[in-house]
Amino acid sequence: MQSTATYDHDPASTQLLSRTWESPPGVLNWFTHVNHRQIGYRFVVTSLVFFALAGVLALIMRLQLISPENTLLGPDLYNQLFTMHGTTMMFFFAVPAMEGLGIYLAPLMIGTRDMSFPRLNAFGYYVYLIAGIALYTSLFLGMAPAAGWFSYVPLANIAFSEGRGMDFWTTMITFIEISALAAAVELIVTILKQRAPGMTLSRMPLFVWAILVMSFMIVFAMPTVMAGSVLLALDRAFFTQFFVAAGGGDPLLWQHLFWFFGHPEVYIIMVPALGIISSIIATFTQRPIFGYTALVLSLVATGFVSFGLWVHHMFTTGLPHLGLSFFTAASAMIAIPTGVQVFCWIASLWGARIRFATPMLFILGFFAIFVIGGLTGVMVASIPFDSQVHDSYFVVAHLHYVLIGGAVFPFFAGLYYWYPKMTGRLMSERLGRWSFALIFIGTNLTFFPMHQLGFEGMPRRVYTYLADMGWQDLNFAITLAAFVLGTGFLLTLINAVISRSRGDLAGSNPWQAETLEWATTSPPQNYNFRHLPVVSSRTPLWDQPDADRLECVAGLRADRRELLVTTLLEARPQSVLIMPNPSIWPFLLSLAVGFGFLGFMFEPWLFVVGFALSFFMIVGWLWPKKPWLDGEQSYDQSHNQS
């Protein structure tokens, strides 16, 4: 052992440890940060910006629909807007928001100092950012995609969408999937290999389980839409015939490829939300959640079964009824693991003294709204019923009930819950309650009447409607309600901004929660935990509320970034991983890859240029700096390793 080595169990090494794990300040250095907290925070904040953008688009759409034959927006612009609304919400808000929470919280919850591949983490964020900026640039230039977030062919193919808009869609989707896949792989590896000693899989917090299931779903679902969008890009750029009936292709192939991804996608969004709910209920009842095993099995079952439902988006395409029937059964079946979770939660709440702070209010809101959405979901699993309401406002109502109820409400609950951990301050309870009330009422007033509109025959994706259809009263009311809803969301965004400076100081564990992220300061120090904790139960902080007295790990270096690798199932200490320092290469690589994908839209050979540039960036990223190890642990602080 070198005499220059300093270990983190040395009480005097705190400052050195902090410097070692520091994300260097400064505008240019911002692009080199790799700590999971910085990256996770950026994901969450950026996703909220996209949420706001998509929300504004929705409000503009509602203004167009406020009266029949309105001329605020022409069909071209309206079609771009609803395409952007859906694409933004699904790809640029919902998944990144959940991933961001996962990236920020999972390492803290499992008691480690960073994720397995910090530079990949940063790369994933820049890819996401560039994709979003590029897509919105297309909107501001008036050439956004206009074939819906699902881009059905042949409409989305070159014969019927000649402009650049669809090219933005295909390339940006492929691009952003890289971001999601990178985050997913990383979350899986981190959760499987870096848990605190003693944190067996059955002692892992339910939110971490949810993130793990979500990540596996991403790994198996997203490649399909990448493959599909590549094929569509080829059809558009090189006139391949994958989706062209005249050339032996099939428009329905696109639907299969898209929905094989698209259905798991909505569960990818919902599964982490289910984890958030478990976390908050446990904390706000101050007792362990009931049915841990059932909840884990339900999460896993939901993940698996969700891959068997996709054809329920295609019930009206003329596929044989016998084949479709299987998907009716599967789509109904998935209600069971969801139901198990709902009742485990109710059992957990039963008889508890509950703290009705804002996070809990949003959880209660989830119950009401998601159950309504789930019930209409079971209805549309019925093929004959779906044949009437498919592609009508009934489905718009259903999908918003399940997504807002099942994802947005828990996500906002999570925001209010973990904001103090991320920023050190509590959000305003008063604004939170107002926001909750307006969002709850606004959601119901906006979307419930849409069920009725669907029954009155109003199809989806229509930029206007005739005056004598009789739809104007409901549409008028819905538009007003949408602004109530928007105000509710705005209040939370305002709350988040002003509480940074005006919120009450939070302390490490303002909610008296039981999981490890609360065992450190708020916000956490650079090194997350002064000493990596060791656990022996599911509720470490309820067993030992004083974080400084937790059992912990000694022997990690303080003069370079190290963290502990543990075994897959039992989480026994196995080895130590030396982590990279802040680096500019992830950002540079994202620029090169972005250049390749964006360039492809204009000149296909630019993709090759991007490919070559990326190669150089990857080499730069991975190239080991000297001195190289010769069998002895003689790194100096500036060493980088792949």
| Residues 543 to 602 in contact with other proteins, rule: CB under 8 A | 549-556, 562, 564-565, 573-578
Count of residues of this chain found to bind other proteins when the rule CB under 8 A is applied: 161
Residue type, 274: L
For residue 555 the two structure tokens come to 């022997």
Q: Is 605 in the site for other proteins (CB under 8 A)?
A: no
Q: Which residues from 102-131 bind other proteins, rule CB under 8 A?
A: 116-117, 120
Taking the complex as a whole, the smallest distance from the CB of residue 285 to other proteins amounts, in Å, to 8
Query: Which residue in the set 349, 399, 598, 617 belongs to the binding site for other proteins (CB under 8 A)?
Result: 349
Q: Which residues from 454-493 bind other proteins, rule CB under 8 A?
A: 455-466, 468-470
Nearer to other proteins, 37 or 236 (CB): 236
Nearer to other proteins, 44 or 114 (CB): 114
> For residues 103, 107, 109 and 111, what is the CA-based torsion angle, rounded to 10 degrees?
-170
Nearer to other proteins, 44 or 344 (CB): 344
For residue 476 the two structure tokens come to 């008028």
Q: Is 619 in the site for other proteins (CB under 8 A)?
A: yes
Q: Which residues from 247-276 bind other proteins, rule CB under 8 A?
A: 247-253, 256-257, 260
Q: What are phi and psi of 392, to 5 degrees?
A: -120, 175
Nearer to other proteins, 373 or 503 (CB): 373
Residues 6+ apart with CB under 8 A from 48: 93, 97, 493, 496
Contact between 587 and 31 under an 8 Å Cβ cutoff? The reply is yes
Stretch that binds other proteins, among 30-38, 126-134, 136-144, 285-293 (CB under 8 A): 285-293
Q: Is 510 in the site for other proteins (CB under 8 A)?
A: no
Nearer to other proteins, 135 or 564 (CB): 564
Contact between 386 and 319 under an 8 Å Cβ cutoff? The reply is no
Q: Which residues from 317-336 bind other proteins, rule CB under 8 A?
A: 317-318, 321, 324-325, 328-329, 332-333, 335-336
Q: Which residues from 17-56 bind other proteins, rule CB under 8 A?
A: none
Contact between 352 and 286 under an 8 Å Cβ cutoff? The reply is yes
Q: Which residues from 144-173 bind other proteins, rule CB under 8 A?
A: 147-148, 152, 154-155, 159-160
Query: Which residue in the set 66, 234, 297, 606 belongs to the binding site for other proteins (CB under 8 A)?
Result: 234
Query: Which residue in the set 24, 142, 604, 624 belongs to the binding site for other proteins (CB under 8 A)?
Result: 624
Query: Which residue in the set 24, 339, 604, 620 belongs to the binding site for other proteins (CB under 8 A)?
Result: 339
Return d(Cα 7, Cα 556) in angstroms, integer: 5
Nearer to other proteins, 155 or 498 (CB): 155
Q: Is 426 in the site for other proteins (CB under 8 A)?
A: no
Q: Which residues from 370-399 bind other proteins, rule CB under 8 A?
A: 371-372, 375-376, 378-379, 381-392
Return d(Cα 241, Cα 232) in angstroms, integer: 9
Q: At what angle do helices 409-423 and 472-502 cross, to 10 degrees?
A: 10
Q: What are phi and psi of 526, to 5 degrees?
A: -55, -35
Nearer to other proteins, 15 or 642 (CB): 642
Stretch that binds other proteins, among 168-176, 199-207, 402-410, 614-622 (CB under 8 A): 614-622
Sign of the CA dihedral with 258 first, then 131, 64, and 448 last: positive
Return d(Cα 508, Cα 424) in angstroms, integer: 8
Q: Name the nearest CA neighbour of 256 among 335, 161, 355, 150.
A: 150
DSSP 404: I
Stretch that binds other proteins, among 28-36, 72-80, 199-207, 399-407 (CB under 8 A): 72-80
Other CB atoms within 10 Å distance of the CB of residue 508: 16
Return d(Cα 518, Cα 534) in angstroms, integer: 14
Taking the complex as a whole, the smallest distance from the CB of residue 291 to other proteins amounts, in Å, to 6
Q: Name the nearest CA neighbour of 113 among 199, 196, 227.
A: 196
Residues 6+ apart with CB under 8 A from 306: 217, 263, 264, 266, 267, 334
Q: Name the nearest CA neighbour of 483 among 46, 50, 48, 61.
A: 61
Q: Which residues from 399-418 bind other proteins, rule CB under 8 A?
A: none
Q: Is 134 in the site for other proteins (CB under 8 A)?
A: no
Q: Is 523 in the site for other proteins (CB under 8 A)?
A: no
Nearer to other proteins, 109 or 395 (CB): 395
Q: Where are the alpha helices (DSSP H) in 404-428?
A: 409-423
